Structure 1
Amino acid sequence: MSQEIHSQQLVQGTHRFTQRLSPTRRGARLARRLAVQQLADWGWDHNNQSTHTAALLVAELAANAVQHGRVPGRDFLLALVLTRPGTGPAILRIEVADCRGERLPRPVSVTPPDACDEHGRGLLLVESLATHWGVDPRHPCGKTVWAELQLSAGPPS
């Protein structure tokens, strides 16, 4: 796992955080914890509903990257982009990139699994919690699954 953590302010009102993580259950758990801490660093309380929702989205996307996007010897990438438009609410874009590009999920029509199935509800969760979500090819290989979330009132701009 890379020890480099990148957090930067891109332009006025926009911040970006990135971290490479090992494609393990521990890496997925750490992604969720890092996202919560980064939101706290940006001024959102740990107990804020938006923080809880972001944590769920990160947990699901990271778990999918570990379970379905793992390539031996390759990490996955977590990126958080916080945008504060002039008058509207802040938008958090969560991106999780892995090195498997041949299995792209379909964001337009997520079908629920059978009631007896023990798996397969993760993208339904993403679809219901995110304002928008999608999948983009990642060059030279892989994919980036992203979700956007409108954050509740937080710190002043």
Structure 2
Amino acid sequence: MKPKPLIPDAYGPKLSPPTATFSIMLRSTPRSARLAWLLVAERLTDWGVPRRTDCFNIAVLIVAELAGNAVRHCADAGWDFSVQVTMHPAPSDAATSTLRIESPTPVPTDHCGATPRRPPDCESGRGLSLVEALTPHWGCVARDAGTKSVWAEATL
């Protein structure tokens, strides 16, 4: 996996202003991680993204991974987490819109950067590898001294 540098405002290519937004703050519980992807799935349907398509499934998988990671890293400290989804229309020279999925968490920013390599028999630690494989852009940036944000973009 390519290391992702911790660079403020390292948000990939410039996107056009969003045409639709959704944000929710949840408690750090496994039930909340499931609720996050269910709510985002409903919102995507409301926005006209067809279910059972690659773009819909990839978007929901990204939400599940980012929310699951947020729960894993925030629950012990009792922190809440959020999921933010924005839809950006295609620029005039492109045929596809972009969906940006972001999960800001109050985790120290020194947790940003390259994801550690896991042994093959490890039961966890492969989710961001999936995100990287399925999305054109993703990363982790510091929002301030005590908050990081993991984000990914999916093509619609």
Q: Where on the TM-score scale, by shorter chain, does this alignment land: which range?
A: 0.7 to 0.9
Q: Structure 1: which 5+ runs fail to align? A: 1-10, 152-157
Between the aligned partners of 2:134 and 2:52, the Cα distance in structure 1 is 17
Superposition deviation, residue 69 in structure 1? 3.3
Match status 1:44 vs 2:54: no
- Pick from 82, 85, 88 the counterpart of residue 83 of structure 1: 88
What letter corresponds to residue 140 of structure 2 in structure 1?
V
Between the aligned partners of 1:46 and 1:101, the Cα distance in structure 2 is 36
Higher relative contact order, structure no. (Cα contacts within 8 Å, ≥ 6 residues apart): 2
Q: Structure 2: which 5+ runs fail to align? A: 1-15
- Show the counterpart of 1:95: 102
What letter corresponds to residue 61 of structure 2 in structure 1?
L
**For residues 26-55 of structure 1, what are the alpha-carbon distances to aligned partners after superposition, in whole Å with 9 as ceiling and x for unaligned?**
111011111111111110122121110001
Q: How many residues align?
A: 139
User: Percent identity of the aligned residues?
Assistant: 37
Alignment of 1:1-157 (within 5 A): 14-70=19-75, 72-87=77-92, 88=94, 89-106=96-113, 109-110=114-115, 112-139=117-144, 141-151=146-156
Query: What SS does structure 1 have at the residue aligned with 2:69?
Result: helix
Superposition deviation, residue 14 in structure 1? 2.0
The structure richer in helix per residue is: 2
CA RMSD of aligned residues (A): 2.0
Between the aligned partners of 2:17 and 2:144, the Cα distance in structure 1 is 28
Q: TM-score, normalised by structure 2?
A: 0.80
Query: What SS does structure 2 have at the residue aligned with 1:127?
Result: helix
Q: TM-score, normalised by structure 1?
A: 0.79
Between the aligned partners of 1:13 and 1:138, the Cα distance in structure 2 is 20
4+ residue runs over 4 A deviation: 109-112
